[in-house]
Structure 1
Amino acid sequence: MSKALSPISVVMIVRDAAATLAVTLDSVRGFDEVLLYDNGSRDGTLEIAARYPNVKIRKGEFLGFGPTRNAAAALAANDWIFSLDADEVVEPGLAAAIAGLALDRPEQAYAVERQNFLLGKRVRHGGWGRQRLTRLYHRRTHRFSEVAVHEKVELQAAERAVLLTGALRHTAMRDAGDFLVKMHRYTMLKAGESTRTYPPAIILFKAVWAFIRAYFLRLGMLDGWRGLLISVSEANGVFYKYMVIYSKREQS
């Protein structure tokens, strides 16, 4: 890859990512630094990372996705940060687009298209369809929102990130069990940062509406059983998020 990549640090927060990490790190060999911020892996993640000469390992506590991404970025050698997950692969076209950037405007952020694959097949519709995520930014002008889940690089009201060509390939889950574990984790994180509560009847309505929106309005049904699985999980996430908050209020 071009040396134009040298001022960029790839920053990853990981925990028990051994199943996918090697493929991810193979895709970013051309970057001079990959900062891997480990949150307590026990499955061989660190041993895999140690094989790559451009990977630097740091350790820290998981504080929620937004705060942890910012803490990791602060440890990088470079100001330009490319935020990457351990189950994402930088496709060659995207790597070439990044290599061609001048990176002479710290105020400019860059977005990428993420292509989501669930249990072996790409998801093309619903909330998992065409995702555009801001992932390349200068840390002196941008940072992630300080939220536990669904964090985003914060942009000014009139600011737009430039969309790069190429894509990230995201292998969302390896099997149905992995899918359910991750959905439960995200639901509990969302419940932990929210304080708004509703009566059970309203919670049920919100869950049903979440399914209708994902499966019908966003055309999740066109993704077959994968679309159904995603739509049901989104409805369950809404239901359990607000029920957790409601039950805590009732018990206090």
Structure 2
Amino acid sequence: MPIPASVSVVIITRNAAATLRQTLDSVLGFDDVVIYDNGSSDDTLRIAADYSNVSLYEGDFLGFGPTKRHAVSLAKHDWIVSLDADEALSPALVDAILAWVDNASPNDLGQMLRENWMMGRPVRHSGWGNDWLIRLFNRQCHNFNDAMVHESIALGQHSRVQRLTGTIAHTAVTDLSQFLEKINRYSSIRADSGKLKSYPVPVIFIKALFAFIRTYLLQRGCLDGWRGLVIAVSNANGVFWKYMKNYLKTNR
């Protein structure tokens, strides 16, 4: 039976068949789950159609912030839970959301702890641990910003953030090739955004090297074993390629 609360769940998807069913199973009780798909070629649309509480929309990808903001506009309710297609709410978090919304004001936002999993194990360091994210908000007062990558909820002067119990289980990586795909896609989005500063090649190299040092040493990725090393290398590559792609737009 649907949960008697005015809360919509909003998800954007693109080739999310490997994880989407787990995500949708975790929000079965919500009466309004919006999926905004950006050109999936796998079974994402067929899986979404199996769920009676899902409203499916298809459209262009506008960058993560603008796309999520558009998806939010399609929801039935003003209270929004934003999820990625590889995330799932724990039962305890579902209960906390419903109890919290009953007493919240539109200026309030709910912050949730995300547990990030990489190939069968949670990652506790490398910048992936203690990952508190604002994922519950009222769209009358809040929404996503314009960031093309690493989007977040824009806060106002009277915003109040409160932490909720329970967790979001994030199946971040199931295959190492996902790192390469994300590096290529995200670096292209950032380079095409027109918001990156252009740096000389030696500076780009230094920034990429610092990204590795920050992740592996300062954020204690070394304690995550080979997973921490892979994340550190991936972060360094992401920095290198976004700035190199941007550099090559005006220097050839």
Q: TM-score, normalised by structure 1?
A: 0.95
Match of 1:250 in 2: 251
Within 2, Cα distance between the matches of 1:115 and 1:59? 29
Please give the root-mean-square deviation of Cα atoms over the aligned residues, in Å.
1.5
- Shift, 1:46, TM fit: 1.2
Within 1, Cα distance between the matches of 2:123 and 2:139? 32
Helix, strand or coil: the match of 2:197? coil
Match of 1:189 in 2: 189
- Shift, 1:183, TM fit: 2.3
- Shift, 1:236, TM fit: 0.9
Helix, strand or coil: the match of 1:84? strand
Within 1, Cα distance between the matches of 2:159 and 2:77? 23
Match of 2:176 in 1: 176
Within 2, Cα distance between the matches of 1:240 and 1:183? 8
- Shift, 1:198, TM fit: 0.9
- Shift, 1:112, TM fit: 0.5
Does structure 2 conserve the Cα–Cα contact (< 8 Å) formed by 1:2 and 1:99? no
Does structure 2 conserve the Cα–Cα contact (< 8 Å) formed by 1:215 and 1:228? yes
Which stretch shows the higher mean deviation, 85-94 or 175-184?
175-184
Cα displacement string for residues 114-137 of structure 1 (whole angstroms, at most 9, x for unaligned residues): 110011111000211111111110
Match of 2:47 in 1: 48
Within 1, Cα distance between the matches of 2:25 and 2:11? 14
Q: How many residues align?
A: 250
Within 2, Cα distance between the matches of 1:96 and 1:39? 30
Structure 1 residue ranges without an equivalent (≥5): none
1:1-252 equivalent positions in 2, closer than 5 A:
3-4=3-4, 6-101=5-100, 102-156=102-156, 159-193=159-193, 194-251=195-252
Within 2, Cα distance between the matches of 1:247 and 1:37? 33
Structure 2 residue ranges without an equivalent (≥5): none
Are residues 177 and 76 of structure 1, via their aligned partners in 2, closer, same or farther at CA, if it must alter by over 3 Å? same
